[in-house]
Amino acid sequence: MTEPESSLPISDSLETTVLARVSCVSSIGNSDGEITEASWLAEIGVDSLALLELFVDIETQLNVQIPLTAMDPAAYETVGDIIRLVHQVRDQ
Amino acid sequence: MMRVLLIEPGEYIDGRLFKTPRRPTRSVALTLPFLAALMPEGWEVDLSYEVNEDTLNKYEAEAYDLIGLTVQTFQMRRALELLRILHGTGPRLIVGGPATVEDDHRLVRVLGRFADSVIIGHAERTWPQALSDFCAGQLAPQYQDELPPPVVDLPPARFDLMDLDQIREPHVLPVITARGCPRRCTFCSEFLYGSWQKRPVEDVHAEIVHYRDKYSIPRICFRDDDFLVDPKRTRELLRKVEPEGITWACQTDFNVARHPDVLNLAVASGMRTVSFGLESVREANREWTEKTFFTIPEAKDVLLELYARGVETQVNVIFGFDHDDPDIFDETWEFLEQTKVSRFFPSILFPIPGTPLFDSIRSEGRLFAEHPPGIEDELQVLFEPKNMTSDELVHGFLDIRSKFEQADHGHRQYWLGRDVVVV
């Protein structure tokens, strides 16, 4: 039986790194693997400031530079939105 | 001539940027006028408080060489927005303020990503250094003064650069006589700010007289964390202040009960409002937080004495300590009724990273999150209370605050009116 897409295990290193960093700044942690690509940032306790910390963390971890114009917390709702941003930045 | 714009960012409340033509205080802000006073010759300075005006439209960013922001943690969201908007408009961006110190410097990395330079902690030496480096084309990404803040020969703040119409009248001017605090209460953010540094009494006296004569404002708010804490120094300073025709406000603790001559001198020299850090009416809580330098009977005596002498009093109480249970709210209410305090400022315990209390709660596994959120919410309970539930804590806090606001205030003392807080 196929699990819904939102809870598929994430094996890609970029996605794993982003998830690990999200877990660090989330107020709920991720010991039970509850945070997935489909998780809503507001529901896992990632406020706008934590999100900006996350961006800076990701820049260091993945050696990418996110344009300041993209660092607008209002533009991101889910963990997947962040993963897509990092893919875009890495591909440019 | 170089130009700099110094901004205090606004604050989001309930998702909206809070704006008001006049700030709900009579006390003039200190940081920006003091930073302006520290600047060398050859700089033209504008000050902007975003809470009062549309900073981005009123001031043309391109017209400045530098833009500086002073940021408190609750202003972070807006500060980062401003930095993102201002980035690339021309001026170099420097940011500083308490947000660079609190939460174990957690926010410095984020601020540094958005600004050209971050000044960490006190700026008496580093702000002029940053300006000098900027002029030499060598602005560093980060400045931090490892020495204690200087306390001798400080320049008077440039209140002449402010639009005082943005603050309610009659105005009260701020003066700091010492940095830091000699007390070490285990919950207090003073653990983040280093040792206690006292200014010479002569310097403080000269500054007060300067403000009175230059601005015709004979009202002062001593912004020290604990103004009456050192009886010997307090006597020396207040004897100088007494003949100057000043009235004043301060924040202190109830240890002054053990020095009645200091209390008498304070009232005689013009004290009209005093804010006390009571924290809890239960002695066990104050033992737990090492705030044991007064007793509840002493606190009551001081409050009733000041009431009789026409002095406005404020009592600050924190709920959620380990020896609090749901009965704490009734006990606190009884204390407030008995002591006829003018103002009551309750809050829910906020464990501050870097304090012993934070470490203690964390070691017991009672923190809900390793890092508190950067944007404070007064109703957020960030830890597991010991003897009541989080819901009981929040509801008890809201109930007692509301009960005090709705109570009859007709008999209470107020210096400059009930509607606007000074301290």
**DSSP secondary structure of B371-399:** S--SS--TT---B--SSS-HHHHHHHHHH
Closest to B69 in 3D by CA, of B162, B111, B6, B129:
B6
pLDDT at A29: 62
Please give the Cα distance from A49 to A59 (Å, whole number).
Answer: 16
Chain-centre distance for alpha carbon A67: 16
Among A28, A49, A56, the residue with its CB nearest the CB of B375 is A49
pLDDT at A83: 93
* 3-class state of residue B32 by DSSP: helix
Please give the Cα distance from A38 to A91 (Å, whole number).
Answer: 22
CB atoms < 10 A from the CB of B414, how many? 16
Q: Is A77 on the interface with B (CB under 8 A)?
A: no
| More confidently predicted of A34 and B5 | B5
Count of residues making up chain B: 423
| CA distance to partner chain A, nearest, from residue B77 (Å) | 7
Please give the Cα distance from B85 to B145 (Å, whole number).
Answer: 29
Cβ neighbours for B177, distance < 8 A, ≥ 6 positions apart: B198, B199, B204, B222, B224, B227, B237
Q: What are phi and psi of B417, to 5 degrees?
A: 105, 155
Tell me which of B113, B367, B384 to substitute to probe the interface with A (most A C-beta atoms closer than 10 Å): B113
Residues in chain A within 8 Å Cβ distance of B371: 25, 50
Element (H, E) at B282: none
Does B375 contact A59 at a Cβ distance shorter than 8 Å? no
pLDDT at B13: 82
Is the distance from CB of B93 to CB of B116 less than 8 angstroms?
yes
Residues in chain B within 8 Å Cβ distance of A49: 76-77, 80, 107, 110, 373-375
Is the distance from CB of B273 to CB of B314 less than 8 angstroms?
yes
pLDDT tens-digit map of B52-70: 999 999 999 999 999 999 9
Q: What is this structure's pTM?
A: 0.89
Alpha helices for B191-295 (secondary structure H):
201-215, 231-241, 260-268, 283-288
Please give the Cα distance from B48 to B59 (Å, whole number).
Answer: 9
Residues in chain B within 8 Å Cβ distance of A48: 77, 375
Lowest mean pLDDT among A14-18, A22-26, B98-102, B317-321: A22-26
Does B84 contact A68 at a Cβ distance shorter than 8 Å? yes
Lowest mean pLDDT among A45-49, B204-208, B410-414: A45-49
Cβ neighbours for B264, distance < 8 A, ≥ 6 positions apart: none
Please give the Cα distance from B8 to B30 (Å, whole number).
Answer: 11
Residue A30 has pLDDT above 70, yes or no: no
Q: Is A45 on the interface with B (CB under 8 A)?
A: yes
B window 254-313, beta carbon within 8 A of A = none
In the A/B pair of chains, how many CB contacts fall below 8 A?
47
Does A50 contact B109 at a Cβ distance shorter than 8 Å? no
Shortest CA distance from B87: residue in chain A: A68
Shortest CA distance from A25: residue in chain B: B371
- B232-244: burial string, b at 16+ Cβ within 10 Å, e else: ebbbebbebbeee
CB atoms < 10 A from the CB of A25, how many? 22
Q: Is A71 on the interface with B (CB under 8 A)?
A: yes
Beta strands of B62-148 (E only): which ranges?
Answer: 66-70, 92-96, 117-120, 142-144
Among A50, A56, A68, the residue with its CB nearest the CB of B373 is A50
Over residues B339-355, mean pLDDT:
94
Does B375 contact A53 at a Cβ distance shorter than 8 Å? no
Does B84 contact A25 at a Cβ distance shorter than 8 Å? no
Q: What are phi and psi of B33, to 5 degrees?
A: -60, -30
How would residue B376 be classed by pLDDT, with cut points 50, 70 and 90? low
pLDDT at A10: 43
The pLDDT > 70 percentage for chain B reads 98
ipTM of the complex: 0.76
Sign of CA dihedral B391, B392, B398, B399: positive
Does B107 contact A55 at a Cβ distance shorter than 8 Å? no
**Can you name the residues that pair with A40 across neighbouring β-strands?**
A78
Is the distance from CB of B39 to CB of B131 less than 8 angstroms?
yes
Tell me which of B71, B84, B102, B382 to substitute to probe the interface with A (most A C-beta atoms closer than 10 Å): B84
Q: For chain B, how big is the Rg over CA atoms in Å?
A: 22
Q: Is A89 on the interface with B (CB under 8 A)?
A: no
* 3-class state of residue B336 by DSSP: helix
DSSP for B140-154, please give it: -SEEE--SPPP-SSP
Q: Report CA-CA distances (Å) from B416 to A61, B168, B247, B303.
A: 55, 11, 11, 19
Q: Is A50 on the interface with B (CB under 8 A)?
A: yes
Over residues B409-415, mean pLDDT:
90
Q: How wide is the angle at C-alpha B268 spanned by C-alphas B267 and B274, nearest 5°? A: 20
| CA distance to partner chain B, nearest, from residue A48 (Å) | 7
Residue B133 has pLDDT above 90, yes or no: yes
Q: Is A42 on the interface with B (CB under 8 A)?
A: no
Is the distance from CB of B310 to CB of B247 less than 8 angstroms?
no
Shortest CA distance from B79: residue in chain A: A49
Does A68 contact B106 at a Cβ distance shorter than 8 Å? no
Q: Is B369 on the interface with A (CB under 8 A)?
A: yes
Residue B370 has pLDDT above 70, yes or no: no
pLDDT tens-digit map of A64-85: 999 988 988 889 999 999 999 9
Shortest CA distance from B108: residue in chain A: A53
Q: What are phi and psi of B243, to 5 degrees?
A: -80, 0
Q: Report CA-CA distances (Å) from B323 to B171, B355, B356.
A: 40, 18, 17
pLDDT tens-digit map of B221-274: 999 999 999 999 999 999 999 999 999 999 999 999 999 999 999 999 999 999
